[in-house]
Amino acid sequence: MLSGVQPTGDPHIGNYLGAWIRWAREQQPEHFFCIVDLHAITMPHDPEQLRDRTVDVACWLYACGLDPALSALFVQSQVREHAELAWVLNCVATMGELHRMTQFKEKSQGRESVSVGLFDYPVLQAADILLYHAEEVPVGADQQQHVELTRDIAQRFNSRYGETLTLPKATFPTAGARIMDLQLVDKKMSKSLGTAGAILLGDTEAQTRKKIMRAVTDSGSEVRAAPDKPGITNLLDLMAAVTGASTQDLEDHFSGTRYGDFKAEVAEAVNGVVRPVRDRHAELASDLGAVHESLAKGADRAREVAAGTMTAVRERVGFLT
């Protein structure tokens, strides 16, 4: 299994509940977790900030439960086979496929010019996956198209050069997979929408409580999940994700409860889950030497597998070895 995360800074609880907690729970020696800094430079960025954020997101991932002894966390640019395989796959992928990618259309909309890197992003992502013979890729629904493209590219490569690359399948996490913004409840939680609607893992407990108490609800008074109550539904989903309780059990528990009291309990539950993660992050951030050492070991483990894949790919396409 392979999963990746962008070093965009300030991760939020949707990242943790939607993916990272599952990564920690299911990690095994054959699992690889990648901080995709090559992908990060497809958009304008500050180099020093990129370096800082790369290390910081590593601290958060370790704080959320990734264990260097159980799985490999590494930085994409430190395993050069990613870029090499991406070039080979560029010669298999087609322009039409990349033009159809929804994410490219969204990110390029309204821009006078976009980088070739942004257009080619899905091919690098395919290389990320195929290097490690990942059989499953846990993703949100918005990334399913990318995994399907990866399968198509791998299948075309295998048809042209012989069976070499493993065809991956997308898997979808359940509880907490899609936490919505607290203010714009029809949109997935994201820092790009503003921090008022996103519970950042680095927020203080007071900040977290304030955001939840100010979360959008409705003019009613009944705590239940329903299409016409998206704000309350989102808070119930959040509560279910952090407690493990079912929506029905939560509706029964909060029957007759005022919205303010309901929000206060949600805030308390969220803070209870995030507190140990935040504390562990602070410990790791105070000893970055150890973090760099763990990342280097992760890159060594990843490189062993990636190098083997590239040896086979080079031979298949006719490169001198």
How many CA within 13 A on the CB side of residue 216?
16
CA distance 30 to 72: 8
Active site residue: 107, 187, 210, 211, which one? 107
Q: Known catalytic residue: 188?
A: yes
The single residue of 191, 211, 263, 297 carrying the catalytic annotation is 191
Which phi and psi (to 5°) does residue 32 adopt?
-125, 135
- CA 289 → CA 200, 286, 295, distances in Å? 25, 9, 10
107 noted as active-site residue: yes
At position 289, the amino acid (one-letter code) is: G
Distances in Å between the Cα of 138 and the Cα atoms of 7, 14, 21, 145, 165 are 18, 15, 12, 13, 19
Which runs of E-coded beta strand occur in the chain?
2-5, 32-35, 72-75, 136-138, 169-171
Q: Which of 188, 210, 211, 229 is catalytic?
A: 188
Q: How many CB atoms lie within 10 A of CB 27?
A: 21
SS3 190: coil
The side-by-side arrangement of strands in the sheet containing 72-75 is: 2-5, 32-35, 72-75
CA dist., res. 64 & res. 59, Å (int): 9
Catalytic residue flag (residue 211): no
Q: Checking phi first, is residue 5 left (phi over 0); if not, alpha (psi -120 to 50) or beta?
A: beta
* Catalytic sites, residue numbers: 107, 188, 191
